[in-house]
Amino acid sequence: MKTGKTNTEILNNDAPRVEYHDNAENHHVLRIKNLAEGDSAEYTFRFHNDDAGWKYSDFPGVSLIVTGLEVVVTPSAVVTEDKRVTLTCSTSCPLTDNTYIWYHNGRPLTPAEGQHKQLVLDPVSAQHAGKYSCAVRTHQNIKSPEETLTVRGKSQVHAVNAVRLMLVALCPVVVSLLYLWIRKKKSLTSTTEPKNPTQAGQTDSEYESISMNAVIAAQRESVEQQEDSV
């Protein structure tokens, strides 16, 4: 009998992928073929007596945990050339077989390249980019999902940094142009619409305050971005 998280199922020879064997020595064997993660459950044995009907055995159930394989990339799945990358064929429980097969873009790597739980690429290059998966040698039909490794060239990184520095340098220029535009607009407004001297002075102060605050904020942002890029 299979007791899962949500339901209970009676297993016999009619169930798919299940074989049941017994012999005269009271040995009862349940064999499940093509295990999947959905087979994780507690399995108990019960027998049928003509007088008493179905009865459970005195033995406790057996918990079966079926785990899949997973490729874990450290430090990241997106790296720069000449860095060190480690790919790990991970499971939630230890495996007795420590021989692994690694696949790069669907093709198995040679034993010299990868037959261990970890595949180390040091230094990593553009030719290492692609999709990776792993399998245990004794169960080659069970493979992990593919994990994509992206390798960026150094020129790409330099280009990104150059664009970032250019934006930082342009910020003060944009703020200065904004300040001049506000001053010009204020000047045109004052010539076309005469105002009370007191109100005009207050308006000048407000424009100058807004402009100076914008310049100070832009300079702060420029310094912070330069520090981040360094």
Q: Which fold has domain 70-152?
A: Immunoglobulin-like (2.60.40)
The Cα 58–Cα 75 span in angstroms is 50
pLDDT tens digits along 43-91: 887 776 667 666 666 677 888 888 788 999 999 999 999 999 999 998 8
pTM > 0.85: no
The Cα 186–Cα 210 span in angstroms is 12
pLDDT for res 171: 79
- Provide CB contacts within 8 A for 171, sequence distance 6+: 218, 221, 222, 225
CB 117 within 8 A of CB 78: no
